A = this chain, B = another copy of it.
């Protein structure tokens, strides 16, 4: 099937229609009308079969996740999703796979006023590059460089589930019946777009946890030129993960496996009550796990208040 017919058949109907899309799929470029008074937040992320997801991952899950990881970057800046482009490399023409891929992509996309405005389909190893554009208010952008000593450090949801789900999928666990929630968290992370809109008046910095808390919080510390102290006993863990590990929690894995796509954010002293209210309103755990300090470095305190020695390395594609 010619490239243009593929595009028409699967792509044009996949997402919402926006009034600010002057010209959508089908010309050399899409033409877009940016909104007055806003700035644009843009991000691009690539997922490669066998690197970012197991080769046998369901096409729907690949479609969902390839969009989710990009929307998560918009969430981390406090941006509202607007436009998306999809560059898809496929080993062979496979309409069934493509249809399922677009079904997963569309399922997530339709949660937002997000329009697919263009892309490219090519022949090659399975690889998906998504580019997203969102809108931010100039004064309310969640950057990595705004944390200050004394700020509380929060994370949304639970940490470590996606990493455990990946170990399960790769057959690396000797036991581990169940863990359906963890595998689902791996395949279908929920980008925290709505949460980001609510916290952005109160948060001094934010990042999405794609490479593990240690690495991603480390980016905030580096760019804010601060240190931090984390209390491991306060790190939120799902019932399923706790049931799997029992008394022998694998903190190294929980804090460096990544792929959770929760938000880590900092809040100035005095704003904790508002964060509690947002957690209640969203029915989503927002947990204070530590505090920003002056200096540099990240200390993780165990249950005896002693520093635990953990490697900061997150997932690194070139190591």
Q: Point out residues on A near B: beta carbons under 8 Å.
A: 1-4, 6, 22-23, 26-34, 36, 39-46, 48, 50-52, 73-74, 76-77, 79, 83, 85, 87, 89, 93, 117-125, 127, 129, 131, 133-134, 136, 138, 141, 143-145, 206-208, 219, 223, 316-319
Contacts and interface: CB of A to CB of B under 8 A. Distances in A.
Given A23-B143, A28-B208, 7 more contacts: A1-B318, A2-B318, A3-B318, A4-B219, A27-B223, A44-B131, A129-B129
Contacts of A87: 44-46, 87, 129, 131
A259 to B, nearest CB: 14
B2 A319 contact: yes
A125 B125 CA distance: 7
Contacts of A74: 28-29
A138 B22 CA distance: 9
Nearest to A132: B29
Nearest to A314: B2
Contacts of A32: 39-42
B52 A122 contact: yes
26 contacts: A1-B318, A3-B318, A22-B39, A22-B138, A27-B143, A27-B223, A28-B74, A28-B144, A29-B41, A29-B74, A29-B79, A29-B134, A30-B43, A31-B141, A32-B39, A43-B118, A44-B85, A44-B120, A45-B87, A45-B120, A46-B122, A50-B124, A87-B129, A121-B317, A123-B318, A124-B125
